């Protein structure tokens, strides 16, 4: 009787098990370059949805390209709008995750030079970008309490107002950048850039030069995607961001 019961349980278990559906079976039909279906290349290059094509590679990475237009006067443009990884989550749905979700990009790298200059009653900051392109506001936070916001690159602040006046002489200073996107209808880039959080001896030094050697236009405009979904209409057409893209 015991053996019969065990046999029945085994039969029920086997019959209830369904084979897992592999989401990779259509990989060969997915990979490729999909061009944005648009009529006017110059208009597309100047529009807020400035895209040319998206490439889904066999190694599960993607590359999203800006539209490039040749006209006078020439303007500087970044080839890539975004890059990262893609994943097929169902037969007709693909998910995009940009690389800034899992990789520390070079644009966040900084150099901090500490010096002793001028009046010791003040603390000074000098922020240097690689180019004049910087549509950002600067935020300094002192000891998780007092904050100073500005769009100036050369700053002088009274120590008594922002720094702790008691021992030790180290102060926790957080430095971040905030995108100034006023007047922008659609914005796919990042808004907040946390650059550093450091304990700094503001007694020995009071003049700080912050260099951001890789914080350029391409880094600033890099588009962030956290599981952005693409719909596959068929093997040659996808829909994304309200737009139709056709395989080349």
- pLDDT averaged over every residue in the chain: 84
Q: Are residues 214 and 131 in the same domain?
A: yes
Q: Measured over all CA atoms, what is the biggest interatomic distance in the chain, rounded to whole angstroms?
A: 95
Q: Are residues 213 and 115 in the same domain?
A: yes
Query: pLDDT for 210-235, tens place per residue?
Result: 999 999 999 999 999 999 999 999 99
Q: Are residues 60 and 146 in the same domain?
A: no
Query: pLDDT for 70-91, tens place per residue?
Result: 654 555 678 999 999 999 999 8
Query: pLDDT for 127-141, tens place per residue?
Result: 999 988 778 999 999
pTM summary value: 0.77
Asked if residue 172 is part of any domain, the answer here is: yes
CATH number of the domain enclosing 51? 2.40.128.370
b/e map 72-109, b = 16+ CB within 10 Å: eeeeeebeebbbbbbebeeeeebbbbbbbeeeeeebbe
Report the percent of the chain where pLDDT is more than 90: 65
CA–CA gap between residue 235 and residue 158 (Å, rounded): 63
Domain hosting residue 45, numbered range: 26-102+224-247
What's the confidence (pLDDT) of residue 228? 96
Q: Are residues 97 and 122 in the same domain?
A: no
Q: Are residues 198 and 147 in the same domain?
A: yes
What's the confidence (pLDDT) of residue 132? 84
Asked if residue 216 is part of any domain, the answer here is: yes
Model confidence at 25, pLDDT cuts 50, 70, 90, reads low
Extended beta strands in 61-191, E state: 61-65, 80-90, 93-98, 111-115, 122-128, 136-142, 146-150, 154-158, 170-179
Q: Is 50 exceeded by the pLDDT of residue 16?
A: no
Q: Are residues 121 and 150 in the same domain?
A: yes
Q: State mean pLDDT over 182-207.
A: 84
Number of domains in the chain: 2
Asked if residue 9 is part of any domain, the answer here is: no
């Amino acid at each position: 009787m015991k053996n019969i019961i065990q046999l029945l349980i085994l039969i029920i278990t086997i019959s209830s098990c369904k084979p897992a559906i592999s989401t990779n079976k259509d990989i060969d039909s997915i990979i490729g370059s999909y061009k944005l279906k648009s009529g006017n290349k110059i208009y597309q290059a100047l529009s807020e949805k400035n895209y040319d094509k998206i490439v889904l590679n066999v190694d599960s990475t993607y590359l999203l390209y800006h539209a490039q237009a040749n006209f006078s006067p020439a303007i500087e443009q970044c080839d890539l709008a975004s890059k990262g990884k893609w994943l097929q989550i169902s037969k007709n749905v693909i998910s995009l995750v940009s690389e800034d979700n899992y990789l520390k990009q070079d644009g966040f790298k900084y150099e901090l030079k500490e010096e002793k200059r001028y009046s010791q009653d003040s603390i000074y900051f000098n922020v240097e970008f690689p180019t004049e392109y910087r549509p950002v506001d600067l935020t300094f936070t002192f000891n998780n309490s007092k904050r100073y916001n500005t769009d100036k690159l050369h700053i002088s602040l009274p120590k008594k107002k922002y720094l702790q006046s008691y021992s030790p002489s180290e102060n926790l200073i957080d430095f971040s950048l905030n995108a100034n996107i006023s007047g922008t209808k659609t914005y796919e880039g990042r808004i907040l850039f946390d650059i550093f959080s450091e304990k700094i001896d503001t007694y020995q030094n009071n003049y700080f030069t912050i260099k951001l050697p890789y914080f350029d236009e391409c880094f600033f405009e890099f588009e962030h995607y956290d599981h952005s979904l693409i719909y596959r209409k068929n093997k040659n057409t996808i829909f994304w961001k309200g737009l139709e893209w056709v395989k080349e």
